[in-house]
Amino acid sequence: MGKYLLIETRDPFDSSDVQRSYDLAGGLADEKNDVTVFLVQNGVLPTRKASAAADAVTQLCSKATVLADDFSLRERGIQKGELVKGVKPTSIDDLVDLVADDGRKVIWH
């Protein structure tokens, strides 16, 4: 089993690549890998229940661990109660721990 960290900085409405990134995460998880997706910058925008992209995030949460940068959420005025179920607000310190985790492959998009 491999360990992966996908860092997603973009909003699906800014870049259609984002769905590919979610698909990659889901595919790796389907193959029994340990997958964490860290959403940061505009990558946190689809975590709102009100977003038209929220279903894609919900689907992602069913397969992988989905974290959202608390600083990016705060900057955009997104409250914890607005988040799709399964998305966990977290700090940049946790991102450091994931990047430094032995054997974890990291992809920034």
Partner 1 sequence: MTKTLTIALMDPPYETETTTTAFRLIDAALRKGHKVNVFAYEGAVNLTMADQAPHPNPVKGTSAEEEDHPTTKDWVAAMFQAYPGKLDWVNCGLCVDERGAGNVIEGAQRGAPKQFAEWSEASDATLVIPAK
Residue 19, token pair as written in the block: 């769905």
Q: Does 52 bind partner 1 (CB under 8 A)?
A: no
| Token couple for 60 | 């992602």
**H or E stretch including 87?**
strand 87-90
**Residue 61 or 106 having the CB closest to partner 1:** 106
Instruction: Work out whether 77 is an interface residue with partner 1 (CB under 8 A).
Output: no
51 is an interface residue for partner 1 by CB under 8 A: no
Structure tokens given for 82: 């607005």
- Report residue 13 as tokens: 């409405």
> DSSP 3-state assignment of 8?
strand
List 33, 58, 71, 88, residue binding partner 1 (CB under 8 A): 71
- Full strand arrangement of the beta sheet holding 65-69: 87-90, 65-69, 34-39, 3-8, 104-108
**Residue 63 sits in the site that holds partner 1 (CB under 8 A):** no
**CB of residue 55 vs partner 1: minimum separation in angstroms?**
25
Binding piece for partner 1, criterion CB under 8 A, among 25-33, 47-55, 59-67, 93-101: 93-101
Footprint of partner 1 on this chain (CB under 8 A)?
A: 9, 40-42, 69, 71, 91-93, 95-97, 99-102, 104, 106, 108
